[in-house]
Amino acid sequence: MEESYRHKGLRKKLIEEIKAKGISDSRVLQAMERVPRHMFMDSSFEKFAYKDQAFPIGCDQTISQPYTVAYQTELLEVERHDKVMEVGTGSGYQAAILLEMGAKVFTIERQRELFLKAQSFLPELGYNPHFFYGDGYEGLPSYAPFDRIIVTAGAYEIPEKLQEQLKVGGVMVVPVGDSSTQVMTKVERVSADDYKKTEHGHFVFVPLLKGKSF
């Protein structure tokens, strides 16, 4: 699949749409304007790539709606050179956005097929996060602590092992709720033992599942 002027034009329109819906962080908007979302989707869905909608990526999973990606990324307040852990690599689209923002990205996927696909595809576009096949509930203790943690699947509760892998001053953004809807939750580690939690808006994600799968 190619990147054309048409794709660039469609992407510009999508960014305007997201802006109109309330996203104002120019670093997020610029990153989204650079990442060719159509290349992260099956070619049969290519024409939907620049609509503000979620879409299937195989293995019963979805690439999140662009507005949701923008909203969650804005809340994360990523700075250049931040060490960021992402749970739920999926298509790799969110990881690409974080890389465009100058972060160092560690991304975990529990489904082997999606892990393998992202691992071979993202570097072709010049995106090189560190890929891990495993259970994101466990995080990456040997690479901790992280400046930022982003969970891109819905959790029933704030995963304790993940918040323990935040630096003091670090931020985690995780959708928390049941399978029908989740509240975007921001967790800031204010000291070794204290976390500040704030809630922001309702979203629908695929569930965060325990263990690995083939």
Residues designated as active site: 64
**Side chain identity at 21, as an amino acid letter?**
K
**For ligand SAH, which is the closer residue by CB, 167 or 212?**
212
Helix (H) or strand (E) holding 209: none
**For ligand SAH, which is the closer residue by CB, 183 or 206?**
206
Does 94 bind ligand SAH (CB under 6 A)? Our answer is yes
Give me 189's structure tokens.
Answer: 């580690």
> Residues 114 to 153: which contact ligand SAH by CB under 6 A?
114, 135-137, 152-153
Does 62 bind ligand SAH (CB under 6 A)? Our answer is yes
Does 105 bind ligand SAH (CB under 6 A)? Our answer is no
Does 65 bind ligand SAH (CB under 6 A)? Our answer is no
173 forms bridges with which residues in the sheet? 150, 186
189 forms bridges with which residues in the sheet? 195
Does 82 bind ligand SAH (CB under 6 A)? Our answer is no
Q: Please identify which residue in 71, 109, 146, 175 interacts with ligand SAH, judged by CB under 6 A.
A: 109
**For ligand SAH, which is the closer residue by CB, 90 or 170?**
90
User: Are the C-beta atoms of 35 and 93 separated by less than 8 Å?
Assistant: yes
CB atoms within 10 A of CB 120: 10
**How far is the C-alpha of 17 from the C-alpha of 65, rounded, in Å?**
12
Q: What is the radius of gyration, based on Cα positions, of the chain? A: 16
Binding part of the chain for ligand SAH, among 9-17, 19-27, 61-69, 119-127 by CB under 6 A, reads 61-69
CB atoms within 10 A of CB 33: 15
For 11, phi then psi, to 5°, come to -65, -40
Give me 18's structure tokens.
Answer: 């997201």
Q: Please identify which residue in 28, 32, 63, 84 interacts with ligand SAH, judged by CB under 6 A.
A: 63
Does 106 bind ligand SAH (CB under 6 A)? Our answer is no
Give residues in contact with ligand SAH (CB under 6 A): 61-64, 87-88, 90-91, 93-94, 108-111, 114, 135-137, 152-153, 206, 208-209
